[in-house]
Amino acid sequence: MGGRAKGLLLAPDGVSIVERWRRLLEDAGLDVVLVGRRAEYAPLGLPTLDDAQPDSGPLGGLVALLATWPQVLAVACDMPHVSPALLRRLLDESPGAALLAPRIDGVWQPLFARYDADRVLPAARKRLAGGRLALQGLLDEVGATALSLSPTEEAELVDWDHPEDVRRDE
């Protein structure tokens, strides 16, 4: 997106994606925190958390979250279509899973996932220390449980990585 903060893009309902997530998560009774500090997000007044290690990608943010809370729901701020019903499924299904995430066409969706810190943090820290930053490997290593999705639910996880993604939804 040319360095733009994707979370500030307007979702189809007319609010920024971050504000949309804030509403969804707070309506579900969850605390909301942004991982990584960007000046563009400061006016939102959301609490922020620094990555556990600079320049470590999403794994650095996940380690910071897992080191702070016992249960973590990690969501990407560039998914403008997730419904309250799908969020509720992520929260409620497979309550004993160490890690619950959808797997679409063999690829885990680690930024729409629920993590248990006690069972995931040790492996995440080890991978971070070893420079193995890929979240796919972490999910495989800890034996993530797959959240099965219908085709309609899969479509809710479409993210906006490129300007043409936004135009497609206009």
Three-class SS string for 127-138?
Answer: HHHCCCCCHHHH
Domain assignments of the chain as residue spans, ordered by start = 6-169
The reported pLDDT for the residue numbered 1 is 35
Q: For the whole model, what pTM was predicted?
A: 0.90
Task: Domain 6-169: give its CATH superfamily.
Answer: Spore Coat Polysaccharide Biosynthesis Protein SpsA; Chain A (3.90.550.10)
One digit per residue, pLDDT tens: the chain, 170 residues? 345 666 676 777 888 889 999 999 999 999 999 998 888 888 889 999 999 999 999 999 999 999 999 999 999 988 999 999 999 999 999 999 999 999 999 999 999 999 999 999 999 999 999 999 999 999 999 999 999 999 999 999 988 554 455 555 55
Task: Give the Cα separation of 134 and 82 in Å (integer).
Answer: 24
The reported pLDDT for the residue numbered 2 is 47
**Cα separations in angstroms, 66 against 11, 99, 159:** 28, 12, 24
Q: How far apart are the first and last CA of the chain?
A: 16
**Cα separations in angstroms, 29 against 6, 20, 32, 92, 138:** 24, 14, 10, 13, 27
The reported pLDDT for the residue numbered 11 is 78
The reported pLDDT for the residue numbered 168 is 56
Tokens of 120: 């995931």
